[in-house]
Amino acid sequence: MSAHLAVHEPGTAPRPLPRHGGRRPELSVVIPTFNEAENIDELLRQLSAALPADLSAEAIFVDDSTDETPSVIAAAGEHHRIPVTLLHRREAVGGLGGAVVEGLRAARSPWAVVMDADLQHPPSLVPTLLAQGRESGADLVVATRYAPGGSNSGLDGGYRRVVSRASTAVAATVLGGPVRALTDPMSGFFAVRTAALRLDAARPLGYKVLLELIVRSGLTRVAEVPYQFRARHAGTSKSTLREGVRYLRHLAALRQAQRSAPRPSAAGEAAAGPVAGEVRPARSVPPRHHGVLDLRDRRPEGGLDVLVITSEAPPIVSGISRCVDRLSTGLRARGHRVDVLSSVQIPRLTAGEVRLSALAARWPGIARRLDDYDVINLHGPVPTMSDVVLLLAGSCRGTPIVYTHHSALAVRGAERLCAIYNRIHRALSGRADMILTTSEHYAQRERRPGGPPVRVVPWGVDIRPQPLRPCIDRPLRVLFVGQMRPYKGLEWLLPAVAGQPGIELTLVGDGRHRQDYERLAADLNASNVRFLGRVPDEALHHEYDRNDVVVLPSVTQAEAFGLVVLEGMASGCVPVVSDLPGVRDVVADAGTVVPPRDENVLRAALLDLAADRARLRHLGRLARRRAEGLGWDTCVERYEDALFDAVAHRGRQARRAGTEHPSAVGCPSGPGLRDEETG
């Protein structure tokens, strides 16, 4: 394995990095160096031994050395399995923090781990940091010396230990928020989701780059992993009095940045304890889980305490999970404390498409803590979960409930039972204080005389630069994104495209039925079909950008919105979808709607687009414009309005009755609840 030497001149971007066999790595390890020649070979040896063989990784050294360190790095790269990239800076702009930022800019992976080269940060912890980030849903995982199980014994002498503690206390006091929540905000050893970084806003100064990233990038979804801070392998510490002065200047600059920000982020505000026993909602910072520590902080003044109850949330991968995650993150960024209670915390029994929750058995403990929240956002219908909450906590029995209705329950082979359940659940949803739906179709079904107000709030999408699709003579590229489950309609999609030379189909997603569909494709001799499995977000964005059509051939009303369709439309893909409530509302006039379970009509629709490229381009432009009106900021703002209105309305009811419900204290007064469509 060879090292790639890229000389980075101040004020210019690093030269393109090698592709290491064409595969984008899963992890970038960013290592700033200054005269660390004696440590490089041992560091790479331990790092190579620590990383799993099936994990693709790269090591990025950003070097400010005045000795032979660059040549040592280049030579060491020849003898270790990890691909090595060296960026040697002629001017050390921003000090160590500036080096880390340059390394993060060069990182090509979804996750980056930042660590020192002196082996005080044990390379054996790198896989743990990465795994914790992937599992917890955090954007930042900090290796901490000061939590139970950690140690700062590697600091030289009592003086440095006192300085370290004092610096931590000063940072927590000055910056507050997530910095105060962390036990070790001065740590130089951490993993970060690269998509969460706003590096253009970074103004690093000195050693404490973690503070810079938290404040400038608004990193609030944080977790911690304890570790033993070791003695240096070789060389001497670079800590000096001058660095202490730079640290104080850096704190002042970050505090000024916080004051000038238009809306301080409060996503790191933590909760005050578990709901009941071991049932713990996922906090604004992740709960104790595989070594992650609870981080606690007070909630901001004027914000709401919100409990989201849903069947699916990260790390579960699904459309509902993604929507709940984006909604929770957005509300936290607006100053609210949001806890999430899902099947991650509540066990459930799964048998095919049937999922039964143990929430009822845990309800007594959960109910005791509901008064700690100003409002509940309940997602359903979910048998044995949303119905239990509506039955036991609805109809003005305390904390107001804003119920998000996703779709009618639809399970193949149990249509009659589903119809009965949907009627029962509709009656129960009348016990909520407000109902939100993603389409007018479901809003009409939920409205009733004397019932709660119903509002339409579609889900959102991130708008990225629209890709250029050159008009060349090639097959129509069709993309399916979703779980490999029967209701997704793949048994009709695959025959529709198999053997069609003018169509190429790419399927992104996974599930227990994937092998069944791969066998079906093989039986059909569908050489124009490829299965990618589950891919990182960056790879998914690439697929959206390279394809012409996004297809959703679902066959039941369990598909109520089609978030992946909206994401494809944002990239200019033309949607071809089944004629299902909610889904057709998303597409409107920007695509093609076909009957479910009809491979012939689906095939004809795709072939028509392949044959008429002018129409394909026109619909792509319409799809993009429609998606641009459905951003996540708008979705979160409408949810925030609904939550505030529900709390304020319940407060007025309590005052008229001569009582004051805890959920009404400190909430803004405002207009009454409105039965309106906001979509």
What's the pLDDT at 557? Answer: 76
Query: For the ranges 51-60, 281-290, 300-309, 612-621, which has the lowest average pLDDT?
Result: 281-290
Domain shared by 169 and 97, yes or no? yes
Domain annotation covers residue 369: yes
Query: For the ranges 146-150, 214-218, 262-266, 454-458, which has the lowest average pLDDT?
Result: 262-266
Domain annotation covers residue 127: yes
3-state secondary structure (DSSP) of residue 92 = coil
Domain shared by 452 and 489, yes or no? no
Say yes or no to pLDDT of 277 above 90.
no
218-232, 240-254, 652-666: which is most confident: 218-232
Widest CA span in the chain: 80
Domain shared by 245 and 345, yes or no? no
Domain shared by 513 and 613, yes or no? yes
Distance separating alpha carbons of residues 483 and 160, to the nearest angstrom = 52
Domain annotation covers residue 413: yes
What's the pLDDT at 552? Answer: 93
Among 628, 651, 669, the domain-final residue is 628
Among 218, 234, 258, the domain-final residue is 258
Domain shared by 117 and 27, yes or no? yes
289 forms bridges with which residues in the sheet? 292
Summarize the confidence of residues 127-155 as an average pLDDT.
Answer: 84
Domain shared by 197 and 142, yes or no? yes
Domain shared by 445 and 481, yes or no? no
Domain annotation covers residue 88: yes
Q: Note down the domain range covering 176.
A: 3-258
pLDDT in tens, 157-167: 555 566 666 77
Domain shared by 136 and 252, yes or no? yes
What's the pLDDT at 284? Answer: 41
Say yes or no to pLDDT of 274 above 60.
no
Distance separating alpha carbons of residues 57 and 141, to the nearest angstrom = 18
Angle between helices 514-523 and 490-497 (to 10 degrees): 30
Q: What is 11-62 written as a DSSP string?
A: TSPPPPPP-STTPPPSEEEEEEESS-TTTHHHHHHHHHHHS-TT--EEEEEE
Domain annotation covers residue 466: no
pLDDT in tens, 491-513: 999 999 999 999 999 999 998 89
Among 232, 258, 284, the domain-final residue is 258
What's the pLDDT at 244? Answer: 62
Say yes or no to pLDDT of 634 above 80.
yes
Domain shared by 185 and 69, yes or no? yes
Summarize the confidence of residues 337-350 as an average pLDDT.
Answer: 83
Comparison of pLDDT for 604 and 246, the residue scoring more:
604
Domain annotation covers residue 465: no
* Count of structural domains within the chain: 3
CATH number at residue 91: 3.90.550.10
What's the pLDDT at 537? Answer: 84
Domain shared by 231 and 284, yes or no? no
Domain annotation covers residue 487: yes
Comparison of pLDDT for 147 and 455, the residue scoring more:
455
Domain annotation covers residue 468: no
Domain shared by 274 and 231, yes or no? no
Domain shared by 607 and 640, yes or no? no
Say yes or no to pLDDT of 581 above 70.
yes
Q: How confident is the model at residue 514 (pLDDT cuts 50, 70, 90)?
A: very high
Query: For the ranges 240-244, 283-287, 502-506, which has the lowest average pLDDT?
Result: 283-287
Say yes or no to pLDDT of 182 above 70.
yes
**CA atoms within a 13 Å half-sphere pointing along the CA-CB vector of 522:** 7
CATH number at residue 277: 3.40.50.2000
Say yes or no to pLDDT of 606 above 80.
yes
Picking from 669, 677, 549, 570, the residue whose alpha carbon sits closest to that of residue 613 is 549
Angle between helices 359-367 and 386-393 (to 10 degrees): 40
